[in-house]
Structure 1
Amino acid sequence: MTDVVLPVLNEAQALPWVLERLPADHHPIVVDNGSTDGSGDLARRLGAQVVVEPVPGFGAACFAGLTAARAEHVAFMDCDASLDPRDLPTVTGPVLRGEADLVLGARDAQPGAWPVHARLLNRLLALELRRRCRVPLTDLGPMRAARRTDLLALGIADRRFGWPLEMVLRAAAADWRIAEVTVPYLPRAGRSKVTGTVRGTVRAVRDMTAVMT
């Protein structure tokens, strides 16, 4: 069994699709990070484990889900229907088989799924990671998997948008075997809180720059 952490902020539109497509051996942990659209209650009705994290921030939600997890392996993915849960075994498989310590899903974007400014920012981050850490990544993908206790031991400190980047930086510093697989990336349900707005993108750039520094 793999626990799947699903950070949620007003994703009621996408939740049913995401939860119904989770593989049977992947247990959903929905982290409600201040939703006002009933996402948490909906997730409970659909049978998911729900964790309420009142502290705002993507990293805060991910950390709350990680500490609530109990399985040996844990995965993370966005809960906006941009990623298909049926692709999770592609990401979790190498970790379960002992072939890698951290696996990220590199996004193969479908038309209209990924704003140009967000794609360029992501490409620059991946280039900088390859330059600094020699990690073979082309994308700082949000679908990823690792061993739960190893992730906790990394001591990831960021609680905002720098969380995904800090995970990779700390894993590289700890000499983890980091790998990448390709997963389809679909147009999300609703508007993104990060890449869909100038304010969200600026916040993400600020948080990730602080982590990189």
Structure 2
Amino acid sequence: MKNDIRVIIPAFNEQNAVGLVVDEIPKDWVSEIIVVDNGSSDDTFAQAERSGATALRENRRGYGQACLKGMEHIANSTTQPDIVVFLDGDHSDYPAQLPELVQPILSGEVDLVIGSRALGQKEKGSMTPQQVFGNWLATTLIRWFYGVSYTDLGPFRAVRYSSLMAIGMTDTNYGWTVEMQLKAAKLKLRTLDVPVNYRQRIGVSKVSGTVKGTIMAGYKIIFTIFRHL
């Protein structure tokens, strides 16, 4: 029997990118692709529908809020998946690498796989210096205080659905990725970093593309690390 793998893509004003992201996902590996339009003012929702994805609306802004909406949709479906994959809607990730992320879970080795940009090949300019430093600082603090070694807080990740439910995600914005990794560490889930490649996104980042976004994201990540100790 084919494994049930669902993909959640949070998207905010990604009309020029989201269709490309959906198109590049290996369709023979997934059961459903869910795009959550996080209150976009452009054509993101319609583009997601045209690409064949399940398009949802979540007007409460926040990266985590959009991810939670996708999870709510899955929880309300008639069957639950084996694995959930999270992927950004800005075309910076390489969706074709999805099999590399889910395979360690399918083989029973781990519960959570983080797509690590630090271990993969990054296109020049795809990550700002503050992003690189922020990831280094956050993963260092996690290693010091939680005793688990991660190399990245990257958005491209796969998690066993039962483990995702055990983690109990609640963060509605910038702390989403780090919350998942911290709670996985506290639950002693088996985790693995897998190299993924990274390219310049389409459009301007709502986080690293602004000073305010960079500061707010950095503050929230550090705050989350200490809050869950």
Match of 1:161, SS?
coil
How many angstroms apart in 1 are the aligned matches of 2:36 and 2:192?
26
Structure 2 equivalent of residue 72 of structure 1:
82
1:32 correspondence with 2:42: no
Pairing of 1:6-85 with structure 2 (within 5 A): 6-24=9-27, 25-26=29-30, 27-69=32-74, 70-85=80-95
How many angstroms apart in 2 are the aligned matches of 1:56 and 1:152?
23
Contact 1:122-1:140 within 8 A present in 2 as well:
yes
Query: Which has the larger share of strand?
Result: 1
TM-score (norm 1): 0.96
Structure 2 equivalent of residue 147 of structure 1:
160
TM-score (norm 2): 0.89
How many angstroms apart in 2 are the aligned matches of 1:45 and 1:2?
21
Structure 2 equivalent of residue 128 of structure 1:
141
Match of 1:7, SS?
strand
Structure 1 equivalent of residue 115 of structure 2:
105
| Corresponding letter in the other structure for 1:190 | G
Match of 2:21, SS?
helix
| Corresponding letter in the other structure for 1:28 | I
Contact 2:38-2:62 within 8 A present in 1 as well:
yes
Match of 1:188, SS?
coil
Structure 1 equivalent of residue 98 of structure 2:
88
Contact 1:158-1:211 within 8 A present in 2 as well:
no
RMSD: 1.2
How many angstroms apart in 1 are the aligned matches of 2:107 and 2:176?
25
List gaps (5 residues or longer) in structure 1: none
Match of 1:112, SS?
coil
How many angstroms apart in 2 are the aligned matches of 1:148 and 1:53?
22
Question: Which whole-Å deviations, capped at 9, do the CAs of 1:6-31 have from their partners, x for residues lacking one?
Answer: 00001111112111111112231001
How many angstroms apart in 1 are the aligned matches of 2:66 and 2:196?
23
Aligned length: 213
List gaps (5 residues or longer) in structure 2: 75-79
Question: Which whole-Å deviations, capped at 9, do the CAs of 1:31-68 have from their partners, x for residues lacking one?
Answer: 11001111011111211001211211111111111222
Moved segments of 4+, more than 3 Å? none
| Corresponding letter in the other structure for 1:32 | D
How many angstroms apart in 2 are the aligned matches of 1:12 and 1:44?
11
Q: Which moved more, 1:159-168 or 1:145-154?
A: 145-154
| Corresponding letter in the other structure for 2:186 | A
Pairing of 1:109-120 with structure 2 (within 5 A): 109-120=122-133
Q: What percentage of aligned pairs have identical amino acids?
A: 38
Contact 1:33-1:53 within 8 A present in 2 as well:
yes
Contact 1:136-1:179 within 8 A present in 2 as well:
no
Contact 2:87-2:156 within 8 A present in 1 as well:
yes
How many angstroms apart in 1 are the aligned matches of 2:99 and 2:144?
29
